[in-house]
Structure 1
Amino acid sequence: MKINASTLSLTVDDVAASHTFFTKHLGYAEEVAAEGFAKLTRDDDAVDVVLLQRGIEILPPEQRDQRASGLILAFTISGIEAEEQRLRSEGVTISMPLREEPWGEKLFQVTDPNGVVVQLVEWTTPA
């Protein structure tokens, strides 16, 4: 099997709120949208994101009432301190402050309006 692209589908209560968060703060652009659905993409190697309205009938019945939870969407970036400052200046709540782990990982988390946790990570040389 050869994987040509990756997409993460998130079932949320408010597609528009997550859509705005991902496009305004995380650099995503809308590729396609319809009632209760949006596909977001970026020009780099980030995974595409599909937002599905909870309860939407295109989902199998056993999945319709589920929400995206227990998931951390992690992106490896460069310049993590500047990104944290940018997001703070845009009014984004930092749900886990910037910290550095002894194994060489700098990270912080933000949470979108639907509770989707996004973790930004930069790998450094461990101490």
Structure 2
Amino acid sequence: MQLESAYPVIVTESIGACRDFYVRHFGFDVVFESSWFIYLAAKANPVLAIAFMSPDHPSSPPGPEKFNGQGMFFTLQVSDATAEFQKLRQSGAPIAYELRDEPWGQRRFGLVDPSGTWVDVVQQIEPAAGFWDPYVRSA
């Protein structure tokens, strides 16, 4: 299989609010928009994308079930989480998890988009010494 792109499609009644959230706070471009489907892509790399679909869409599958906000999150990996955190805070973005360095090796913060999806903004950093030792399986 030769993949050209991969992206989640989140079924939500808030497709317009989701569009505005990702365009305003993360600089995504609207690539396609209809009354029931919106496809967004990152300006710097259009293969990085997310889409939103209204529960009353005419396509199938999936069914019309709305995403309930549990069991998944959308990670946006950046080169400088501190700078992105400061930009988003200044823009009025609703920060739900303050910037911090995690012992497993991520500097990160989080937001919740209008569909209820957790957006995890991460920068890879060195993990705390020995953190992964109990979790890494030897071959």
Give the direction of change, closer, same or farther, for the CA distance of 1:94–1:30 in structure 2 (3 Å limit): same
Gaps of 5+ in 2: 129-139
- Identical pairs, percent: 24
Give the direction of change, closer, same or farther, for the CA distance of 1:66–1:59 in structure 2 (3 Å limit): farther
Other structure's SS at 1:78 match: coil
Give the direction of change, closer, same or farther, for the CA distance of 1:16–1:45 in structure 2 (3 Å limit): closer
Looking at structure 1, the residues matched to 48 and 96 of structure 2 have their Cα atoms a distance apart, in angstroms, of: 22
Looking at structure 1, the residues matched to 95 and 17 of structure 2 have their Cα atoms a distance apart, in angstroms, of: 17
Aligned length: 126
Check conservation: 1:8, 1:47, Cα contact below 8 A.
no
Residue 84 of structure 1 pairs with residue 85 of structure 2: yes
Give the direction of change, closer, same or farther, for the CA distance of 1:15–1:45 in structure 2 (3 Å limit): closer
Looking at structure 2, the residues matched to 104 and 111 of structure 1 have their Cα atoms a distance apart, in angstroms, of: 22
Amino acid at match of 1:8: P
**Where is the strand percentage greater, Structure 1 or Structure 2?**
1
Q: Please list every run of at least 4 consecutive aligned residues from structure 1 whose deviation after the TM superposition is greater than 3 angstroms.
A: none
Rg larger in 1 or in 2?
Answer: 2
Indicate the residue corresponding to 2:13 in structure 1: 13
Greater displacement, 62-71 / 28-37: 62-71
Residue 98 of structure 1 pairs with residue 94 of structure 2: no
Looking at structure 2, the residues matched to 93 and 67 of structure 1 have their Cα atoms a distance apart, in angstroms, of: 20
Give the TM-score normalised by structure 1: 0.89
Looking at structure 2, the residues matched to 81 and 52 of structure 1 have their Cα atoms a distance apart, in angstroms, of: 32
Amino acid at match of 2:2: K
Looking at structure 2, the residues matched to 46 and 105 of structure 1 have their Cα atoms a distance apart, in angstroms, of: 23
